[in-house]
Chains A and B, each alone.
Chain A
């Protein structure tokens, strides 16, 4: 049984094999798994919001897609990962409640996903798998042994990315 490292909301953790990084109950948040398959170093970020520049408070950079990703990438490089080998898998960004007049607030899941995609593009990391959208929660686990990103849901089954 390898170590299970918990990643809370608005947080990120990095690690190396043998270990797994897990984050429970993502709704509109997005879980971004970065992985280097040679050194088996990985990171998991649980971001809540797309963009730190629009927020009034940015005390916790792990909260935003645009600030969490560069920080996590750095931590991984410190553990020996090489940026050129790192790939991304993303999951989450759901819209949990449906209202007739969906405002921007309700569409935050979609905006989070877009922001994650554009930030990854900006820092030149390829997304090799994704499972985003829908109206249901997800628990995500990144296995550092092989880079498998497991997505569990309540009644939409479980998949491995």
Chain B
């Protein structure tokens, strides 16, 4: 099982991308309603990459980010990370709290709660869509938040994957608000055993 993510077929990768699309679409709608802004999202990337390369997706291991982390419980456990560049996180908080742009320069515990709640809602929307699509019950844990270097935050999930192999399968979508340039990366990282469960559930297991 360890490295069979390197042997996924094009069909399987497409199927995973579609899952990401449905999940992220649902999340984007939820986020758009909360902050009352139009949200653009990229077509999800399904990437299989060496563990050490994952932080490059968000600007390198020393990029300053805010991360909201949730575990996924259920039949296909995994991890969800919502990563925002620090400035985007500050601006998102300003929006949520009805403050003028540029007001936030450090996160109060109230601000942290607000961002965790956003992570919670995005994860819930994402997993809901994923559950419908796969018929697997998937539930998010309570969220946790950290503001730090991207490599340090991602290490939490990468270490877990490292026990099984040297590569990570990440399903990643980038959200941006049209006018304000708030940017966020949403990662779904299935635990090693979960990939087979998901592929079987959607009928593309060889």
Contact = CB atoms under 8 A, between A and B. Distances in A.
A56 B1 contact: yes
Interface residues of A, number: 34
Contact of B159 (A11, A29, A100): A29
Contacts of A99: 141-142, 144
Given A25-B152, A137-B153, A97 B162 contact: no
A28 B166 contact: no
A75 B152 CA distance: 27
A146 interface: no
A45 interface: no
Contacts of B145: 97
A48 B162 contact: yes
Contact of B144 (A28, A56, A98, A108): A98
A1 interface: no
A136 B148 contact: yes
A25 B160 contact: no
B51 A26 contact: no
B190 interface: no
A24 B55 CA distance: 10
B150 A25 contact: yes
Interface string B21-51: 0000000000000000000000000000001
A96 B166 contact: no
Interface stretch (B58-66, B120-128, B129-137, B179-187): B58-66
Interface string A2-14: 0000001111000
A136 B62 CA distance: 12
Contacts of A105: 160
A21 B151 CA distance: 17
Nearest to B146: A96
A135 interface: yes
B149 A25 contact: yes
A60 interface: yes
Nearest to A152: B62
B113 interface: no
B64 A154 contact: yes
B152 A49 contact: no
A25 B55 contact: yes
* 10 interchain residue pairs of minimum CB distance: A25-B151, A137-B152, A27-B152, A25-B61, A27-B155, A25-B149, A97-B144, A9-B52, A137-B149, A8-B52
9 contacts: A24-B61, A24-B149, A24-B151, A25-B55, A25-B60, A25-B152, A56-B163, A99-B141, A154-B149
Given A27-B151, A97-B156, 18 more contacts: A9-B61, A10-B51, A10-B166, A24-B60, A25-B60, A26-B155, A27-B149, A27-B152, A27-B153, A28-B152, A28-B159, A57-B2, A94-B152, A96-B148, A96-B155, A97-B144, A135-B146, A154-B64
